[in-house]
Amino acid sequence: MSWMEQSDSHSCVLLRLGERRFAVAADQVAELAAPSRIFRFAQRTPEIDGVILRRGRVVPVCDVAEKLTGKKLGRRRFYLIATRRQGEAFDWIALPVSGDCELIRAELTPAGPSDSAHVAAWLSHDGEVIEVLNLGALMPAAGTGQFPVSSGQTPEAHA
């Protein structure tokens, strides 16, 4: 049974990306964090801006604003740290948001076949119809990492 089928109303976190608001299921949200230093290194996943360090964990920063609104986010006010299931594990991602987030309870309307894959459901709040995001469809995903074990040898140095 999915989180949408468990009850009539659901806890969701509303987030703002520029002029628009979106929602994420509250049980997929770990925390809201102030912007912190972004570490960037060579990589080829365009959706990822870099990584932040959060409680000792490396969390990729995924700016989804352009994909969802057509505009890059001008100002990052917070990072919404969200989780998504990846097989047996949870993957953490940081979504930059441009305004305050709000925890609400709302009744959800399941997404229809014509909706985009990133729409898990719809909710109505304050006269606005808001997309509930399917983070798994919104962001790329790969399998779990591998850790080759080192041989313990040391290099020879030459001038």
Partner 1 sequence: MRIAAAHKTKPVGTEQIILFRASNQVFAISSASVQEVRSVDSLAGAAVEISEAGLGKVRHAIRRGERNLYVVNAALHFGLRASPAALIFLLRKSRVALLIDGIEKMTTMTQLQALPGAFCHEERTWYRGLTVLDQNVIPVVNPGGFLTPEEISQLDGVTRAQSGPEAAGIAGAEANL
Binding mask 62-101 for partner 1 (x = CB under 8 A): x--------------------x--x-xxxxxx--------
Site mask for partner 1 (CB under 8 A), range 140-159, x = bound:
xxxxxxxxxxxxxxxxxxxx
Q: Which helix (H) or strand (E) holds 12?
A: strand 9-17
- By CB under 8 A, name the one of 14, 15, 23, 51 that touches partner 1: 51
Identify the residue among 43, 109, 116, 124 touching partner 1 (CB under 8 A).
Answer: 43
Cβ-Cβ contacts under 8 Å for 155 (sequence gap 6 or more): none
Shortest spacing between CB 159 and partner 1, in angstroms: 6
